[in-house]
Amino acid sequence: MRDRTAADARTVYVLNGPNLGRLGSREPDVYGATSYAGLVASCQELGKELGFDVEVRETNDEGELVRWLHEAADRSVPVVLNPGAFTHYSYAMRDAAAQRTAPLIEVHISNPYAREEFRHTSVVAAVATGTVAGFGIGSYRLALHALADELTD
């Protein structure tokens, strides 16, 4: 694992795939009422408590998500990753996640195993440090705490 710079040592990326920018209006019975802005604020506030500078990003573009994972690997930045629908079929994203040089926690707001069968497969899970799912926006908080534990062990 490459040494992290002083600036990188406190940085964590929270990367979100397609449709996560529509939180609060997208299927609130599944994803809750918290807006994307609320998610960003929650992650950044908890990050400060844990000693992290949390950078939250969202994209509907698979290539952009792959580039962000490469950036994280090159800088040894830990990642909380909600791949959205890319979870189930994006081998390009899976291969980018496999190049990680710091912990990577896969996160899902809903429990994929309690939903449609096509959601039961994650191509990311096998290369992630761990997966947190089914706790609503709280899944992100649990993932950030898990990263803090991983980075202090």
70 has binding-site annotation = no
Q: Identify which of 93, 96, 79, 84 has the alpha carbon closest to the alpha carbon of residue 130.
A: 79
74 has binding-site annotation = no
Q: Degrees (nearest 5) of the Cα angle 50, 139, 71?
A: 65
Catalytic residue among 13, 36, 91, 108: 108
90 has binding-site annotation = no
Determine how β-strand 11-16 pairs with β-strand 53-58.
parallel
Any alpha helices (H) in 9-107, and if so which ranges? 28-31, 36-50, 62-75, 91-98
119 has binding-site annotation = yes
At 152, which helix (H) or strand (E)?
helix 138-152
108 as an active site residue: the answer is yes
137 has binding-site annotation = no
89 as an active site residue: the answer is no
Catalytic residue among 13, 31, 36, 89: 31
95 has binding-site annotation = yes
Q: Give dist(CA 32, CA 77) in Å, integer.
A: 29
At 124, which helix (H) or strand (E)?
none
Residue ranges for the known binding site are 82, 88, 95, 109-110, 119
Residue ranges for the known binding site for substrate are 82, 88, 95, 109-110, 119
Q: Which residues are catalytic?
A: 31, 108
